[in-house]
Amino acid sequence: QKEVEQNSGPLSVPEGAIASLNCTYSDRGSQSFFWYRQYSGKSPELIMSIYSNGDKEDGRFTAQLNKASQYVSLLIRDSQPSDSATYLCAVRMAGANSKLTFGKGITLSVRP
């Protein structure tokens, strides 16, 4: 089992829809969780961080964390074509010091 798994893509949604991106992790002691957005040919950009169970909202983005079930998700409301990118889930596992473990990413395509 990979340490950080993201559901296979690509994911395609129409403009204005809600995009739901999921991520599961293997280490129950993990403390910090992040979502990065990476446009093609560019470097990853941090868009959300979450540390406690529940929801965290920032504009059109909502991160959801459930430590008991070991999953973290990202919801993008009112999806725009500019949201088309690869989204990377990253987890700081217990004992990893500062290192993050990244998932493979899922590519989102928003159709106009």
Partner 1 sequence: EADIYQTPRYLVIGTGKKITLECSQTMGHDKMYWYQQDPGMELHLIHYSYGVNSTEKGDLSSESTVSRIRTEHFPLTLESARPSHTSQYLCASSDWGAGGEDGYTFGSGTRLTVV
Q: How far is the CB of 112 from partner 1 (least distance, A)?
A: 23
Token couple for 74: 């990202």
Does 26 interact with partner 1 (rule: CB under 8 A)? no
Question: Beta 54-58 vs 4-6: how paired, if at all?
Answer: unpaired
Torsion sign (Cα): 72, 81, 40, 47: negative
By C-alpha distance, which of 20, 24, 50 is closest to 35?
Answer: 50
Per-residue x/- track, 35-74, partner 1 (CB under 8 A): -x-----xxxxx--x-x-----------------------
Q: Which of 5, 22, 56, 102 binds partner 1 (CB under 8 A)?
A: 102
To the nearest whole angstrom, how small is the minimum distance from the Cβ of residue 91 to partner 1? 11
